[in-house]
Structure 1
Amino acid sequence: MWNRVEHYVDEIRANRWYAYFAVFCRISLAIAFGISGWVKISGERFAAGLPSNHPLGHYFDALLDTGFYYTFIGMGQVMVAILLLIPRSALLGAIAGFPIMLNIFVLTYSVRFEGTRTVTFMLLANLFLLVWDFQRIKHILPFQQTQRELQANSDKPRAHPFPYVFFTLVVLTLATVIGVNQIMYDIRPGNSAEECMNGCRDGPTPQASKQFCDCIYTKGKVLGKCLEEFEKAKAIELGANGRNQLRP
């Protein structure tokens, strides 16, 4: 299995289109890490437009209050951005950035943040960069190519056909992430009270949804408590709607 993985990585590294995609992933991640890190170094609250009563707003407010720890995180993110921009250190940047991206990925999904799609794309880009440099990473794993295999791979002619299948899979993956994020939660707090309320109009339980938004943005309760109240209100509203439909 590992030999097949090595063979596949060797094939894609011989194709300039994959190389262009790797550069795109590096630059995109570097920009994201750089902007996020610089905001923290500047001592500003990240996502300043996000209300404090938002579940993620609570987190950003608390993180800002940690003082030099907040600055330390920003310096780490800027360092990752610099490493990603330098070709020789890009692998180190991808390795250092992966746990950061994984942490952000879990965080955004746990609070039902609207930016989960973008964070998922970034995590996938980070994973691609790790696969891209698999030949270098493999030396810390208990699987290595033999010298004969390395010589055989180095003697292969370099070809540059456009990888239609790969980029089709990329598009399908992005579409799948967007689609799954659209249906995986029955309710989200949105990024503002207005956005949350707008999402209540077309739902099957508009009153319960409005109570949820009020619980988040007016009462400032934690997400878990608001979800508990929403589930109870939803059950009551659905029961009432069912009884109304049965009436002659």
Structure 2
Amino acid sequence: MALFSIFSSLEDYYIKIKQNRWHWIFSILCRFLLAYAFIVAGMVKILGERFASGLSELHPMGAYLEALHHTGYYYTFIGVAQVIAGVFLLIPGTVLLGALIYLPIIVNICILSLAVRFEGSFVSSPLMVLANLYILAWHYDKLKYILPFNRYSREASIPKPKKYESKFPFLFFIGVLSIMGIIVWFAQFGNQVMPRNSLSNCKSQFINTDNEHVGFEFCECIHTAGNPLNQCLEKLEKSKL
């Protein structure tokens, strides 16, 4: 009974959100930004070019992308999937399908970016995951019927309101900005050491510190020797003062 009451309250809140113009505009903005990112990235793969081609092959992400580039039609397949997901997000009738295709791809990219500490998508990929989840939440009226606790109904979609409410959802956007701020903060300060995208940038974080020498060795381990990130981090921790 309590669980039913919670779901009922959430659905009432959801209906209010669906009638707010600012939430509607935010959902469209998320759609177009996500679509643009995947269509551009996907076309790079379809055309056979290496993604982030300026990144050294010795960088953890660079090594991964170089290997991925040589997987043949699998590399092309990823690009096609990204373009399809992006195009579907642009078409009103296929937005939900596009978001469902988009989600596993962007979650994989996000986890990869965090695992190898790649600055190129260390901030953007978590934000893209959240934007994708927002689009799925926006289409909860359709999505809920594939979830195990709801039964199918012919009236799967809440009709578009004749007139949107104009009340600005301050708390919602404060929450959005707060989450973005937390992610940016974590990207800057969440890890004491980052491999960075080049040898010089990597060394810059150790200049005039107590661990300058071992820090430079860490950067050489990544960008010159091409060793795995975890191995270089372990060596750094053992050598630190």
TM over 0.5: yes
Whether the aligned pair in 1 keeps the contact of 2:34 and 2:86 (CA below 8 Å) is yes
Q: 1:37 aligns with which of 42, 54, 70?
A: 42
Whether the aligned pair in 1 keeps the contact of 2:145 and 2:151 (CA below 8 Å) is no
* 1:76 matched residue in structure 2: 81
Q: Secondary structure at the match of 1:66?
A: coil
The amino acid across from 1:230 in the alignment is L
TM-score computed with the length of structure 1 as normaliser: 0.88
Q: Secondary structure at the match of 2:123?
A: helix
* 1:127 matched residue in structure 2: 133
Q: 1:162 aligns with which of 151, 164, 168?
A: 168
Matches within 5 A, 1:100-119: 100-114=105-119, 115-119=121-125
Q: Which runs of 5+ in 2 are unaligned?
A: 1-5
Q: Which runs of 5+ in 1 are unaligned?
A: 239-248
Shift of 1:156: 11
* 1:140 matched residue in structure 2: 146
Shift of 1:194: 1.4
The amino acid across from 1:64 in the alignment is H
Q: 2:234 aligns with which of 222, 228, 235?
A: 228
Shift of 1:146: 11
Cα distance change of structure 1 residues 171 and 10 upon mapping to structure 2, 3 Å threshold: same
Quick check: 1:51 aligned with 2:62? no
Whether the aligned pair in 1 keeps the contact of 2:57 and 2:63 (CA below 8 Å) is yes
Cα distance change of structure 1 residues 155 and 120 upon mapping to structure 2, 3 Å threshold: closer
- What is the alpha-carbon root mean square deviation over aligned residues? 2.3
Report the Cα distance in structure 2 between the residues aligned to 1:128 and 1:204, rounded to whole angstroms: 44
Count of paired positions: 233
* 1:218 matched residue in structure 2: 224
* 1:244 matched residue in structure 2: none
Q: Matched residues, percent identical? A: 41
Q: Secondary structure at the match of 2:136?
A: helix
Name which one, 1 or 2, has greater alpha-carbon Rg.
Answer: 1
Report the Cα distance in structure 2 between the residues aligned to 1:202 and 1:118, rounded to whole angstroms: 30
Report the Cα distance in structure 2 between the residues aligned to 1:202 and 1:97, rounded to whole angstroms: 44
The amino acid across from 2:28 in the alignment is V
* 2:3 matched residue in structure 1: none
Whether the aligned pair in 1 keeps the contact of 2:31 and 2:89 (CA below 8 Å) is yes
Shift of 1:123: 0.7
Report the Cα distance in structure 1 between the residues aligned to 2:113 and 2:136, rounded to whole angstroms: 22
